[in-house]
Amino acid sequence: MNKKGMIALLIIPIVLLIIINSTFILASNTSIFNSESKSDKSNLNIVRSNYYEVELDDENEVEIPITGTALERASAVALEYIGEGRVTDSEIGDEEGYYEIEITTNEGEVDVHLDEEFNVLSTEWEDGSDDD
């Protein structure tokens, strides 16, 4: 096989993977952020973020954001529990629970910690106070 043929064999799968990945990203953004169902009882106000971006916390540990239906469900439970605000961050595998949803309210930021079944375990306001 010549050099051009080998390059084509390497580039074609990469291009296909990029196209497929972009399709899934667009589909997930559309289903989560553009659903404006009038029958929704919860008013989700989720800030768009890059689902595949991984952050490091103060101890240089990886923070993995929640995605998909888990993000929708955890956000709905956390917002209902707090009563107001908008979801500004999320994390899976938090030390205080399985899920963590950060909500910004008029009073400040609050982290809501949930277990794997989306039950509220605890809350922590940015000033360090707990509402447990």
130 occurs within a structural domain: no
Domain extent, residue 97, equals: 37-125
23 and 81 both lie in a single domain: no
| CA–CA dist 92, 64 (Å, integer) | 6
22 three-state secondary structure: helix
Q: What is the pLDDT of residues 48-104, one digit of tens each?
A: 444 444 555 556 666 788 889 999 999 999 999 999 999 999 998 877 899 999 999
Q: Where are the alpha helices (DSSP H) in the chain?
A: 3-33, 68-82
Q: What is the pLDDT, as a whole number, of residue 51?
A: 45
- CA–chain centroid gap for 63, Å, is 11
| CA–CA dist 77, 87 (Å, integer) | 11
The percentage of the chain sitting over the pLDDT mark of 90, rounded to a whole number, equals 38
132 occurs within a structural domain: no
41 and 29 both lie in a single domain: no
